[in-house]
Structure 1
């Protein structure tokens, strides 16, 4: 039972209990993680829709986007900032540790030695650099930068300090103020990295959860779509590049009772999975009833926030959906080889049953 799991030491992934140690091993092995997820992906997956209309300012009329999802087989990708859980897609970074790391990082790129690892000493040396060099553009020494990325990061950091030092603000030490403000920019950039770069669509492994119907299907007046992943799973090599990208980026959520601190502050290809599992895919265990699978895609690749998803297998209408709305659903899916089910309340249990509509 989920309620009996020690979520401080264990996690729930795709309805399986996994220890913190096992999760660490997966994080440290991309191949094992992606292979595990690939074979555990379900043959069908579900998404709930409210079946309500909202006003579109561009065309100046109401649109039922739930109907549109049925008509076009498209899924909307949302920004994490719009989610109802304030912790969703958030990461935990200790501000003081982060500042200490990047003070040393930028000082190293400038060739400033600091054997005692003193923040105060480094800030003093950085201040001296800016006080002694009026022409910053020609004073930057890139000899200690080993990559183009390091050169770029150092340039941005120095220019930020210079610009912040020109702000009209009354502070005892403008250079120190500018350094700390530039470091805080780094902190906020890292903290918002996941939410700024990705778009997400939330799906689930089950169609009969009462809470899901209540929360995401307009109190059972909406509907649930079942998508068929079997062809993608068993004939993966026949997928086109976009279909593979969508299938590859469908992951089960990690339900946990802890927020693990990010200690590797550089977000790149080597640290991607680490940040991914601790941010985009990690949720507090009280949400585990959702049994969520999460489609996560890069915002820059899908600027319209819309993707064509896998084939629709069936539609399940909520037990409170009016008959006239059911008729509309039938019209939309007519001739599309999609089954339609009507949900009913079980009399002798707290369960829903689904009857195939003829």
Structure 2
């Protein structure tokens, strides 16, 4: 599988949005003071610290996102195999194929479900400063506009874009060929898939005569 750079994706907002930072309350600042070496008494007031943290954090988050964006790779998956738009956009107008995986194995243990929202994600400043497990970058990589919700997408992230990763043979469980896939492609890919995993199912997509949908028939 290939981990591409989001800079080359078809959604201009994909992984390129700017996060909004939550407003800090005095109670939250008190908790941050306990975790971070902020001076008490002789230091700045709470209001000054809040203003400084929010101003700095917005710039820091934006810079971090842009720096990470240049390097981190994303591999995209979907819960569906029959969406006509996705066959047109991502499978050579129906001449390509869709791979089916068993996501219960180690390769897919870090899958992230994409969240579809009308708003940019909000970064919790207190959690970001005090919780090492809070990964705001993952949240940024896995939030998209509601307009893309039909994709029902999941993502794997890799620290380096352009990486190719070899999944286990048994994790590939099926190949769905588009309605415009050539017989030659079906034979070559089908033989290779069953050589790697004899239990793989092969399916041929055909346009329905009664509705706007793809019907898949199993290839013996």
Which band: TM-score by shorter chain? 0.7 to 0.9
1:322 counterpart (176, 182, 197): 182
Separation of aligned partners in 1, 2:208 and 2:121: 42
1:114 and 1:317 map into 2 onto residues whose CA distance is 64
Measured in 2, the distance between the counterparts of 1:207 and 1:307 equals 22
Higher helix share: 1
Aligned residue for 2:165, secondary structure, equals strand
Q: Which has the larger radius of gyration?
A: 1
Alignment partner, residue 150 of structure 2: 289
Q: Which moved more, 1:86-95 or 1:221-230?
A: 86-95
Q: What TM-score comes out, normalization by structure 1 length?
A: 0.47
Q: Residue 309 in 1 paired to residue 172 in 2? A: no
The match for 1:88 among 3, 7, 14 is 14
Aligned-pair CA distance for 1:212: 0.9
Q: 1:273 to 1:198 in 2, by over 3 A?
A: farther
Aligned to 1:77: 3
Quick one: distance in 2 between partners of 1:196 and 1:269?
Answer: 26
From the superposition, tell whether residues 93 and 328 of structure 1 become closer, same or farther in structure 2 (CA, over 3 Å): closer
Partner residue of 2:192 out of 332, 337, 344: 332
Task: Point out where structure 2 has 5 or more consecutive residues left out of the alignment.
Answer: 24-32
CA distance in 2, matches of 1:248, 1:275: 19
- Deviation (angstroms), 1:272: 4.7
Gaps of 5+ in 1: 1-74, 98-104, 123-179, 233-242
Q: Which whole-Å CA distance do the structure 2 matches of 1:315 and 1:183 have between them?
A: 45
Aligned to 2:64, which of 168, 175, 190? Answer: 190
TM-score by length of 2: 0.73
Q: 1:94 to 1:331 in 2, by over 3 A?
A: closer
1:1-358 pair list within 5 angstroms: 75-93=1-19, 113-115=43-45, 117=47, 186=60, 188-192=62-66, 194-196=68-70, 198-230=72-104, 232=105, 243=106, 246-264=107-125, 270=131, 272-273=133-134, 275-276=136-137, 278-299=139-160, 305-310=163-168, 311-335=171-195, 336-337=197-198, 338-358=200-220
